[in-house]
Amino acid sequence: MTVEALVGPDERTPGENPTEQLAGAEGGMAQPISVRMMEPGIIGVILPPNQEIAGPEARVAGATVRSLANGRRMPVLLVITGVVGVSAEARHVYVRSITASAFALVGESPVDRVIAHYLLRSRTEAVPAEFFVSESAAIEWLRQYACED
Protein backbone atom coordinates (compact mmCIF):
# COMPACT_ATOMS: atom_id res chain seq x y z
CA MET A 1 0.00 0.00 0.00
CA THR A 2 1.34 3.42 -0.90
CA VAL A 3 0.09 6.45 0.96
CA GLU A 4 1.31 9.87 -0.02
CA ALA A 5 0.55 13.31 1.31
CA LEU A 6 2.10 16.46 -0.05
CA VAL A 7 2.46 19.09 2.63
CA GLY A 8 2.40 22.71 1.52
CA PRO A 9 3.71 25.85 3.19
CA ASP A 10 0.18 27.08 3.95
CA GLU A 11 -0.45 24.09 6.26
CA ARG A 12 -2.73 22.28 3.84
CA THR A 13 -2.48 19.18 1.77
CA PRO A 14 -2.71 20.12 -1.92
CA GLY A 15 -5.17 18.56 -4.35
CA GLU A 16 -4.83 15.20 -6.03
CA ASN A 17 -2.27 16.40 -8.58
CA PRO A 18 1.18 15.58 -7.10
CA THR A 19 2.85 18.14 -9.37
CA GLU A 20 0.74 20.99 -8.00
CA GLN A 21 2.81 24.01 -7.03
CA LEU A 22 1.96 26.09 -3.98
CA ALA A 23 2.55 29.78 -3.39
CA GLY A 24 5.46 30.25 -1.00
CA ALA A 25 5.76 32.76 1.80
CA GLU A 26 7.58 35.20 -0.48
CA GLY A 27 4.99 34.98 -3.22
CA GLY A 28 7.02 32.59 -5.37
CA MET A 29 6.12 29.06 -6.18
CA ALA A 30 7.12 26.46 -3.59
CA GLN A 31 7.13 22.70 -3.86
CA PRO A 32 5.43 20.78 -1.07
CA ILE A 33 7.06 18.33 1.32
CA SER A 34 6.24 14.75 0.32
CA VAL A 35 5.41 12.27 3.09
CA ARG A 36 4.71 8.66 2.12
CA MET A 37 5.09 5.03 3.11
CA MET A 38 8.28 4.01 1.26
CA GLU A 39 7.79 0.30 1.88
CA PRO A 40 6.15 -1.59 4.72
CA GLY A 41 7.44 -0.14 7.95
CA ILE A 42 9.48 2.79 6.56
CA ILE A 43 8.16 6.33 6.22
CA GLY A 44 9.77 8.66 3.69
CA VAL A 45 9.86 12.44 3.98
CA ILE A 46 11.20 14.27 0.94
CA LEU A 47 12.01 17.94 1.48
CA PRO A 48 11.81 20.16 -1.60
CA PRO A 49 15.18 21.29 -3.01
CA ASN A 50 16.17 24.95 -3.28
CA GLN A 51 13.96 25.98 -0.36
CA GLU A 52 14.25 26.67 3.34
CA ILE A 53 11.98 24.46 5.42
CA ALA A 54 9.89 26.53 7.83
CA GLY A 55 7.91 25.58 10.91
CA PRO A 56 4.36 25.46 9.50
CA GLU A 57 5.12 22.89 6.80
CA ALA A 58 7.37 20.93 9.19
CA ARG A 59 4.48 20.70 11.68
CA VAL A 60 2.08 19.42 9.00
CA ALA A 61 4.66 16.94 7.72
CA GLY A 62 5.22 15.74 11.31
CA ALA A 63 1.48 15.27 11.79
CA THR A 64 1.34 13.28 8.55
CA VAL A 65 4.22 11.06 9.71
CA ARG A 66 2.40 10.43 13.01
CA SER A 67 -0.77 9.57 11.10
CA LEU A 68 1.04 7.08 8.86
CA ALA A 69 2.80 5.55 11.89
CA ASN A 70 -0.58 5.05 13.55
CA GLY A 71 0.78 5.02 17.11
CA ARG A 72 3.88 2.95 16.29
CA ARG A 73 7.53 3.99 16.24
CA MET A 74 8.85 3.57 12.70
CA PRO A 75 12.08 4.31 10.84
CA VAL A 76 12.05 7.55 8.85
CA LEU A 77 13.95 8.32 5.66
CA LEU A 78 14.50 12.09 5.40
CA VAL A 79 15.69 13.27 1.98
CA ILE A 80 17.32 16.69 2.32
CA THR A 81 19.08 16.87 -1.06
CA GLY A 82 19.36 20.49 -2.18
CA VAL A 83 17.54 22.00 0.81
CA VAL A 84 18.74 25.57 1.39
CA GLY A 85 18.13 25.53 5.13
CA VAL A 86 15.94 24.47 8.02
CA SER A 87 14.41 27.12 10.29
CA ALA A 88 14.81 26.91 14.06
CA GLU A 89 11.09 26.14 14.35
CA ALA A 90 11.31 23.30 11.81
CA ARG A 91 14.37 21.94 13.62
CA HIS A 92 12.38 22.02 16.86
CA VAL A 93 9.65 19.90 15.20
CA TYR A 94 12.33 17.39 14.19
CA VAL A 95 13.84 17.32 17.69
CA ARG A 96 10.46 16.59 19.29
CA SER A 97 9.63 13.67 16.98
CA ILE A 98 8.39 10.76 19.08
CA THR A 99 7.42 8.60 16.12
CA ALA A 100 10.84 7.73 14.70
CA SER A 101 12.65 4.58 15.75
CA ALA A 102 15.59 5.56 13.49
CA PHE A 103 16.46 8.34 11.04
CA ALA A 104 18.34 8.00 7.76
CA LEU A 105 19.13 11.38 6.25
CA VAL A 106 19.95 11.41 2.54
CA GLY A 107 21.81 14.17 0.74
CA GLU A 108 24.38 14.65 -1.99
CA SER A 109 26.40 17.78 -1.32
CA PRO A 110 28.61 19.09 1.48
CA VAL A 111 25.81 21.55 2.30
CA ASP A 112 23.36 18.63 2.67
CA ARG A 113 25.83 16.98 5.07
CA VAL A 114 26.08 20.17 7.15
CA ILE A 115 22.28 20.43 7.37
CA ALA A 116 22.07 16.74 8.34
CA HIS A 117 24.63 17.21 11.11
CA TYR A 118 22.75 20.31 12.30
CA LEU A 119 19.62 18.16 12.61
CA LEU A 120 21.42 15.13 14.09
CA ARG A 121 23.19 17.21 16.75
CA SER A 122 19.89 18.62 17.95
CA ARG A 123 18.48 15.22 18.94
CA THR A 124 18.36 14.64 22.70
CA GLU A 125 16.86 11.14 22.57
CA ALA A 126 19.09 8.21 21.65
CA VAL A 127 17.53 7.37 18.28
CA PRO A 128 19.86 5.75 15.73
CA ALA A 129 20.61 8.20 12.93
CA GLU A 130 22.95 8.12 9.93
CA PHE A 131 23.72 10.26 6.89
CA PHE A 132 23.76 8.60 3.46
CA VAL A 133 24.44 9.74 -0.10
CA SER A 134 22.41 6.82 -1.48
CA GLU A 135 18.68 6.43 -0.87
CA SER A 136 18.87 2.67 -1.46
CA ALA A 137 21.66 2.30 1.13
CA ALA A 138 19.61 4.38 3.59
CA ILE A 139 16.54 2.18 3.09
CA GLU A 140 18.63 -0.96 3.50
CA TRP A 141 20.00 0.41 6.81
CA LEU A 142 16.50 1.39 8.01
CA ARG A 143 15.07 -2.09 7.38
CA GLN A 144 16.70 -3.34 10.57
CA TYR A 145 14.48 -0.91 12.53
CA ALA A 146 11.23 -1.67 10.68
CA CYS A 147 8.54 -3.55 12.57
CA GLU A 148 6.89 -6.53 10.99
CA ASP A 149 3.11 -6.52 11.58
Nearest CA among 103, 145, 143, 106 for reference residue 123: 103
Q: pLDDT at position 22, please?
A: 33
Distance CA 95, CA 37 (A): 21
Dump pLDDT digits (tens) for 115-132: 898 887 766 567 898 999
Answer for the pair 68, 37: CB distance below 8 angstroms, yes or no: yes
Cα 46–Cα 14–Cα 103 angle in degrees, nearest 5: 20
> DSSP letter at 124?
-
Stated pTM of the model: 0.77
Distance CA 26, CA 84 (A): 15
Domains of the chain: 33-145 (3.40.50.10600)
Distance CA 47, CA 52 (A): 9
Nearest CA among 53, 65, 114 for reference residue 89: 53
Q: pLDDT at position 126, please?
A: 77
Dump pLDDT digits (tens) for 10-69: 444 443 333 333 333 343 446 789 999 998 899 999 999 999 999 898 999 999 999 999
Buried b (16+ CB within 10 A) or exposed e, 96-113: ebebbbbbbbbbeeeebe
Q: pLDDT at position 47, please?
A: 93
